[in-house]
Chains A and B, each alone.
Chain A
Amino acid sequence: MDSLLQEEAVKNRAGQAGSDVLPPLRLPCLPPGFCRPASSHEHKLNFQKSKEACLNYIHDAMLQKQWKRAAEFLTFYIEALEKDFSREYMGPSEIIWRIGSEILWHHSHNGVKEFSSFIEQMKTLAIKRYLKVCLEHVFHLLCNGLIDEAYQTLSLAESWRHGEQTSVQDKEMKLIEAYRGLLDYCSWAKQKHILLEHGQDGFEDLSVEQEMHSCFRKAAVNLKEVIKIPGVWDPFVKCYVDLLEFYGDHDEARQVLNEYAYNSKFPANPNAHVYLYQFLKRQGESKKLLVSALKILHDSVPSHELMIEFNTMLQKSKKRKKRRLGLKVIFAALDYAGWKENVKAWSCLAKQVKQIAISEKHLDWIKQEWNSRRDWWPAFHFSRYLAKRNWQENESLSYEKALVAGILLGKDCKYFKYVSHQGCKTQVKRFRMLKKFVNKHSPVYLRISGLSDSSVPP
């Protein structure tokens, strides 16, 4: 209905505009030398060309980490500042700020002092960038462990006012405040630590406690503000939730985390679900809630480290559907190279596969998962080279993998053959058992690989 009405409206407007009174089109004036392109490369001044060439040399030097050379060319680039009338986004002053701080960060004899004197000059260069430059200064101070100086810089930036505040400046100011909140949180955590330690000695210090609470208030106000704006605010959210939990405001914490994870205005952020899951776990929430949190995480990051936990949780479930999901989760995790040599993941898979093989129920689950991987897993996981390496580096890993390989690919597969051979040679009992197990369940291989007709699920 709505769309129909709108269409009508558009048509109406078009009709109005297209009716009788069309003003004649007035062409803009052409410059006197219009036959020439307005600003081709040819007509650029040598000054600009020279500065562009200089900038290219700086880029090359920086890419090759030749900081001294980059600094040398920057010295010659700097005079471009004197002619910086451009309104381009990336004018010389911005370039000098960014490149200069990068060079100083990597190649400076006198660390913080030199950087500070540089950045103070940059602050005066462009009003629009003032807050950004301040933030960078703060990061640099923090990287050098100068927390008090960083705090001062933030406070100073907060009190800075210039003309009408634009929306961009507004956002940047929120960020400044948020970082100050973060530092307040840090000092809160410090006080808390002191208090807890002394508390054990039976010693109580009221002033420390008071200070701690005041830190809490300052931090909470600023942190709460910034996480209202759609964005990725991981450290701020984490700290804020920590504060809330400490003071027992679990409802607020839950609300914040739910908002952060589920509000569609925020960009998709896997960590939001991780934080929510961890919170729910701490709260001792029901399995159902935990599973649903992890399910979303699985959908966005199948390779997340929590997937082991997820799989274990699902395997224990009595519901078939959940166990089915568990298998899917662990297979998906092992698709990623990062998990290739993770014993825990392989043992999870081995365990579940073994269970299914023994019960001979739900072989179709394995078959389904295996179908999409049959053409690449053997080379990815079960090559002879990997068998050799896994055996040398991690016997348990090779055991788990050999079990999986034996069931999925049969007893003739290279990986299984090599590992079981080596295992039997060294007279380790579990490898002999493994060989026996695989031999016994060899029909499973035939069924999941579709070689036997009896594999058709009921």
Chain B
Amino acid sequence: MDEEAVRDFNERCAQCSEVNWGVTDGGRFYCRSCHNVTERTREVINTDFISNSRVQTISKGSRKKEKTDRGCEWYVCEGFQFVLKKQAEALEALGVCPQMKDEILCNFWRLYLQKTKQAYCDRPDGETVKALPLCDSSTDVESEPETPSLLHLLSLSESEGDLQTDSSFISSVSKVSASTSVCSGSVDGSLYFMKNQKEKLRMTMPMTLSFCYMALLWLREPMTLSDLLRFVVEGHIPYLNVFQHFPEKMKLYGVDLKIFCVESWPVYEEVYDKMLELAAFLDLPRFPDITDSCFLHPDMLCMKYLMEANLPDELHNWTCRVVKKICIGEADFLTLVPGNKSTRKVKYDVLAAALIIVVLKLLFLLDDHYEWLLSDFAEERNKNNQEGRPYFEFKKWYKVIKCSLDVEQKKLDEERAKYQWRCEKPLFYSADKKSKVLKRRQMVVNLQNQFGKLSGSVRPAEKPNPSSFQLSWSEENADGSCFHGHSLKGILQEKRGVLAAMNPDYWLCTVQLCRERSCGHLAHYREVEFPQSYHFVLRLFSFLLRIQPSSIHDDVCLIEHKLFNKKLCKKPKYNTVIRK
């Protein structure tokens, strides 16, 4: 019984900072390690409210105590709403259409609040707060304009007032916040980690990005998920330390830190999977069609990545042919249908990169032999014939790309090592830690100044301007390092009026796709088992998309299987070499 009562009281003891609570006869918590009795009383759980209750007890004592350090009462969802708002604003500043913030994202968020019974429903979870006898004043927002509700401050669409007026949620919050304001962090922080939140799809920091990506996808904005995540890491979209922009009155303590303080970059797969989950959870209809005029269509994205990878424009013709052949350019394949488990969901950026790799394999084989042979031939031809467009030399391209890739990779690694994770706003688990944290903070600043002076640079360099291109190549460069205009002649031959590849062979990355559901991958990539040229190309796109090479390899295998499906069943016309 006692065990149950103390389970959710996981603050540290003010005296010995242990978390080892027991309950006294008087219902108060006492520390089993040092026998310090707190002023917090045990939560009185009313079984009637069990499914629907937010905060059972907040003791009188702690309220009085913290009068000196005033703050508003706020809910975890308000925190996330604030984060989303900031992110939406940043995206708008990056050129995303303003509709995204005020209509799409806002509606998704409302829907989420409704589905999770946090607002816009008959009996929101927040309702029980009203039942607290401690809220002596029940003034409304309108009657007390000096202390506007936080939601008012935070609402995604300030132009529309509906969020403040039409939700019962808002009234319950305003009543509390207008009363003897408690600043023990968020009101429902401790409930956040409770088990029953599971089926509700608990909001997390990475999920804020899932929301953003979902809205971008809905609007078919020209921004891929890899772009979005890169902008996050580069600091163009608030994510890490976003809490520092919270209004002064929203204090973060205790569990709040676990919720809002992130120390990892968002992971592509995680954000993507959560987005799918979220779309299904919200019962969203089929997303707007991805047609061939959309940026996310493989034909468009392939062009973008061909440019970035400094490959000849002529290859685009080939990627389009592959797209057509295996019917992955059709809206039915590309468009997201939430909750439909039968169709495979498309990662547009990964798919486009994989397409380019498949085309490179079709033309150059990438077996560490044939591509160099073709390159030697092209070099010979270019020497003898200076007129017209030069033939594409794989060797030359490799050298140029390898060089700048190594430089960029090194730069990126150093930047990552130099990344500053802490922000100006200090965080402390509880008030008694405050002085210690501030002292540490001051020392860190002092030391940083001291060694910064020694090294000549105190602050990290300015963040780069946001660009969807990480590598750029220009025809105007005289050094001939741009291959966009190079010709594929020499590796193509005319067959019955159609240009076909000289290369008659192909090798498959894998014979069979992995059928094991649990691993979640179609194939399993091991670098040593594959030709180095292939690995190099994977690495290039892995750098551009900032994802693991194995993820791209998965999609390469998928495309190959679509492409060779019939051939695999029938007698092979191509000499298909199969790698083990």
A interface residues with partner B (beta carbon < 8 Å) = 45-48, 50, 53-54, 56-57, 67-69, 71-76, 78-79, 81-82, 96, 100, 103-104, 107-109, 114, 117-118, 121, 124-125
Contacts and interface: CB of A to CB of B under 8 A. Distances in A.
B450 A54 contact: no
Chain B interface: which size bin?
20 to 34
Given A72-B457, A78-B448, A78-B451, 17 more contacts: A45-B263, A45-B264, A54-B417, A54-B418, A56-B417, A68-B454, A68-B455, A68-B456, A72-B451, A75-B451, A76-B417, A76-B460, A79-B421, A100-B447, A103-B451, A104-B454, A118-B447
Contacts of A68: 454-456
Interface in B447-470: 447-448, 450-452, 454-458, 460
Dominant secondary structure of chain A at its interface with chain B? helix
A45 to B, nearest CB: 4
A114 B414 CA distance: 28
B444 interface: yes
A50 B451 contact: no
B455 A72 contact: yes
B417 A75 contact: no
B444 A82 contact: yes
Interface of B: 263-265, 413-414, 416-422, 437, 440-441, 443-444, 446-448, 450-452, 454-458, 460
26 contacts: A45-B264, A47-B264, A50-B416, A50-B417, A54-B417, A54-B418, A68-B455, A71-B451, A72-B451, A72-B455, A73-B417, A74-B451, A75-B451, A76-B420, A78-B444, A79-B421, A79-B422, A82-B441, A100-B447, A103-B451, A103-B454, A104-B454, A107-B454, A109-B454, A121-B443, A124-B443
Given A82-B444, A117-B450, A125-B443, A75 B421 contact: no
Contacts of B414: 57
B450 A81 contact: no
Contacts of A57: 414, 417
Contacts of B265: 46
Contacts of A53: 413, 416-417
A82 B422 contact: yes
A42 to B, nearest CB: 10
Given A47-B264, A121-B447, A108 B419 contact: no
Q: Which 8 A-B pairs have the closest CB atoms?
A: A72-B455, A47-B263, A71-B454, A53-B417, A71-B455, A54-B417, A46-B264, A45-B263
Given A82-B422, A125-B443, A100 B263 contact: no
A57 B415 CA distance: 11
A117 B441 CA distance: 17
A124 to B, nearest CB: 8
Nearest to A121: B443
Residue among A75, A82, A107 with the most chain B CB within 10 A? A75
B283 to A, nearest CB: 30
B457 A79 contact: no
Contacts of A75: 448, 451-452, 455, 457-458
A78 B460 CA distance: 14
Contacts of A67: 454
Given A50-B419, A73-B417, A79 B444 contact: yes
A109 B455 CA distance: 11
A45 B266 CA distance: 11
B521 to A, nearest CB: 15
Contacts of A72: 451-452, 455-457
Nearest to B446: A121
A46 B413 CA distance: 12
Contacts of A54: 417-418
A45 B263 CA distance: 6
A72 B420 CA distance: 13
Contacts of B451: 71-72, 74-75, 78, 100, 103
B416 to A, nearest CB: 5
Nearest to A54: B417
A73 B420 CA distance: 11
